[in-house]
Amino acid sequence: MRFGVNYTPSHGWFHMWLHPDWDSVQRDFDAIANLGMDHVRLFPLWPVLQPNRTWINQDGIDDVRHMACLASDRGLDVYSDVLQGHLSSFDFVPSWLVSWHETSMFDDEKAVQAQSELVGVLYDALSTVSGFKGLTVGNECNQFADRVHPRRMSANTESTDAWLRALIDPIRQKAHANGHVLLHSENDAVWYSDGHPFTPRQAAGIGDVTAIHSWVFNGTAQKYGALSEAGTRHAEYLVELSKAFALEADHQVWLQEIGAPQNVIDVEDVSEFCRKTVEHALDCTDLYGVTWWCSHDVPQAMSDFPPFEHDLGLIDEQGRVKPVGKEYAQLASQYRHRAEPQTRSTAVVVECGDDGNPTMRAACAPGGSVFEKWMLLSEQGERPTLVTSQTADDVMRLRARGVTECMRVPMKSGDAYSAVSDPSLENAIAEH
């Protein structure tokens, strides 16, 4: 089992890409390796790598490769994103997509071609680094097409599907030949938000591994409590939900982001939340790995972050390992060689349309009927999974999943889910 961290540089946060402090980066990677982590996920900034649509900054590409080499030299496997995109409430979008040049990254043909070129260039630069394991297209790029984004880019299911394939398909063959994975990541709107242009079928079907980003500030902790069954099983639930939409019964799922935001979790409960959440997720079959958000706290001198973003690290601003860092390190040591869990024989059914996507995604969200049925079964000691209605009606597909009992519920939405970390912000955007 892989245990790692989303790397946040301790010196300068992600602005460090403007002027890398390699001594600081080396110290950071030493600290991460000393925690017993086996991999890091890197986040180069898109405007640094591609400041003009037809000009890629080779120095920026070289910096990403150098960082990957520094991590690899310390025994850390390396995964990198490409399009950043969006990080901790800040958007990093190149100027050729905004203002006087405003267009959509998803359906502008020239913009898509430029992004595809960048993916290929960065892959080629990293492909010969010994510890390099794969690329994620970008960090939650779907939020740029979400209704709550203040400068929403045009997109629909057809254009997002074409966008994903345009970025991944050109390098898929050589990546697979080299043993590397290619994937994309979305926030939980892809699973929970009706009308969202990215779909569960895309999330679980286009990449080599499905990426899950589990954040309980989405209404889960607010409604049920951070240490409730729903709070500590949210990541497990998302992993199992994603499996319902995968084409292969053994398709792997990467818990690529899991963190403990202190706007909804008391500081004294963070370590317990970490342990319970990770242990529940480890009870899922075909789990590719667990990657904590994040490695280092954001320096308090940096302004305009949501307050909880400063304290999500395993290591504090002074370089000290926090209690949650010690807890996560212990989990890695304890479970790295865990046996594969047994398959789950009971499934809650997600009613889907002809396209294989839910007829009501809100039923799967916190407070929705599917979510609550799954959580109730878990509280009763069951180990439920989820299947689509098409799978529920197909004996062979059920057998491949190991499911012997299906439970159907009416598809009803709830009132708990929020697509942003602060529900009051979503209300303000809706009013605007």
Q: Tell me the pTM.
A: 0.96
Residues 128 and 62 placed together within one structural domain of the fold: yes
Question: Hey, what are 399's tokens?
Answer: 């057998």
Residues 353 and 414 placed together within one structural domain of the fold: yes
Q: Is residue 340 part of a domain?
A: no
Residues 329 and 362 placed together within one structural domain of the fold: no
Q: Is residue 378 part of a domain?
A: yes
Report, as an integer, the average pLDDT of 264-287: 98
Residues 42 and 174 placed together within one structural domain of the fold: yes
In the chain, how many domains are there? 2
Per-residue pLDDT at 255 exceeds 80: yes
Q: How confident is the model at residue 422 (pLDDT cuts 50, 70, 90)?
A: low
Report, as an integer, the average pLDDT of 353-380: 98
Q: Is residue 391 part of a domain?
A: yes
Domain housing 389: 346-431
pLDDT of residue 215: 97
Residues 296 and 224 placed together within one structural domain of the fold: yes
Q: Is residue 341 part of a domain?
A: no
Decide which of 284, 307, 335 is a domain's last residue: 335
Residues 376 and 324 placed together within one structural domain of the fold: no
Please, what is the average pLDDT of the chain?
Answer: 96
Residues 296 and 360 placed together within one structural domain of the fold: no
User: What are the pLDDT digits (tens) for 121-158?
Assistant: 999 999 999 999 999 999 999 999 999 999 999 999 99
